[in-house]
Amino acid sequence: MNQWTRIVLGLAIALGMLATGFVSAATPHPTTDNPAGATPSGELTATTPARFASSIHHVVLVLLENAEASTVLKHGPYEESLSDNYAYASLDYAICHPSAPNYLALTSGGTFTQCGSDAHHLYSGSNIGDLLAAKKESWASFSQSMPKACDTTDSYPYAVKHNPLVFYSDIQKNKSRCDAHDLTWASWTADVKAGSIPNFAFITPNLKNDGHDTGVAYADTWLKGWLTPLLKTTWARNTVFLITYDEGSTNAGYGHFAGGHVFLVAVSPYSPVAGLIASNSSHYSVLTTIEWLLGLGSNGRNDKASLNPPLQEMFSFA
């Protein structure tokens, strides 16, 4: 698609957004880190709203599996359309192989000792949940097909290696905290029905829907069916859906990264329409972007903005 086609398409989509109501309309969102009296995502129904750093009040991070960006664009027509219509990072890379270290990188700024392994271990130190709790913002991970909250046992098609919160000792060893934030798919469904999702949601489809056992085309079809109705909700007006893959099928990267060239798109009313981001980025950049959008600060690892700057060019706040 050439530049002029992108501009014309962008104007058409922008007019469509105005017509459907998918435009900026920031609304307060109740948040808390206290599970008492909370909805499934760990939120109270009435409390002082958090103060946000941007017009984005909800970040929904969706992680799909095991594909190079070129494969996604070739076999995922819905994702290809998202890359044409929203802000697409064309040079984004995973950190290493296999899955687990990339999930940890996206939620803590570090891989710990996991590169080369998918085994479940516990690690101490700050993670994104701690940053969100400190800012009194709500947060949860939602794992499709997980039998019960905070489950550390594989139960196909649920895989523990794709559930990063249970790798952190300050979450997994605190039962009430883990049960309030590491949640089943039924909790996500309940939040959507109630129109109140957490400020940060980590979405893990099961091993079929994420493409791990089925391929890009299958995951693309699932994503279209899942995401399309969500974009029509009221809360989507101040939400970004960050859609990426845990790792590629190669060792492509830059610097010391070697996890493969992966697909990354930001779907939001604030994402420049058909904006192509052509600077190197990684899973650490995704984390610093989330921290920047929600005003969280840093875990002090590779999520320092000086090391891996947030992808501010993926957003345009009037």
Contact 94, 262 (CB under 8 A): yes
- Give the Cα separation of 315 and 240 in Å (integer): 10
Can you tell me whether residue 135 is helix, strand or coil? coil
Amino acid of residue 34? N
* Global pTM value: 0.86
52: its two tokens: 């946000």
Q: What is the per-residue pLDDT across 133-169, written as a single tens digit (0 to 9) for each? A: 999 999 999 999 999 999 999 999 999 999 999 999 9
Res 275: pLDDT: 79
Higher pLDDT, 106 or 1: 106
279-297 mean pLDDT: 97
Query: Alpha-carbon Rg of the chain, whole angstroms?
Result: 18
Q: Give phi and psi for 78, each to the nearest 5.
A: -70, -45
Res 51: pLDDT: 73
54-65 mean pLDDT: 97
Res 209: pLDDT: 98
Res 203: pLDDT: 98
Higher pLDDT, 202 or 274: 202
Q: Where are the domains of the chain?
A: 3-314
Say which residue the tokens 């980025």 belong to.
281
Res 11: pLDDT: 43
Identify the DSSP state of 23.
Answer: S
* Residue 261 CB burial class (10 angstroms; 0-12, 13-18, ≥19): buried
Res 50: pLDDT: 63
Residue-averaged pLDDT of the chain:
88
Res 13: pLDDT: 41
Res 318: pLDDT: 75
- Give the Cα separation of 174 and 123 in Å (integer): 13
Res 49: pLDDT: 54
Contact 109, 299 (CB under 8 A): yes
Percent of the chain with pLDDT over 70: 84
Res 272: pLDDT: 83
Q: What is the per-residue pLDDT across 12-21, written as a single tens digit (0 to 9) for each? A: 444 444 333 3
Q: pLDDT band for position 244 (50/70/90)?
A: very high
How many residues appear in the chain?
A: 318
Q: In the CATH hierarchy, which fold is given to the domain comprising 3-314?
A: Alkaline Phosphatase, subunit A (3.40.720)
Q: What is the per-residue pLDDT across 26-54, written as a single tens digit (0 to 9) for each? A: 333 333 333 333 344 543 333 345 678 89
Res 170: pLDDT: 98
56-60 mean pLDDT: 98
Q: What is the per-residue pLDDT across 249-267, written as a single tens digit (0 to 9) for each? A: 999 999 999 999 999 999 9
Can you tell me whether residue 79 is helix, strand or coil? helix
Res 48: pLDDT: 45
Higher pLDDT, 11 or 125: 125
Residues 6+ apart with CB under 8 A from 275: 86, 87, 88, 313, 314
Res 65: pLDDT: 98
169-175 mean pLDDT: 98
226: its two tokens: 């899942």
114-136 mean pLDDT: 97
Contact 9, 84 (CB under 8 A): yes
Res 273: pLDDT: 76
- Give the Cα separation of 66 and 72 in Å (integer): 10
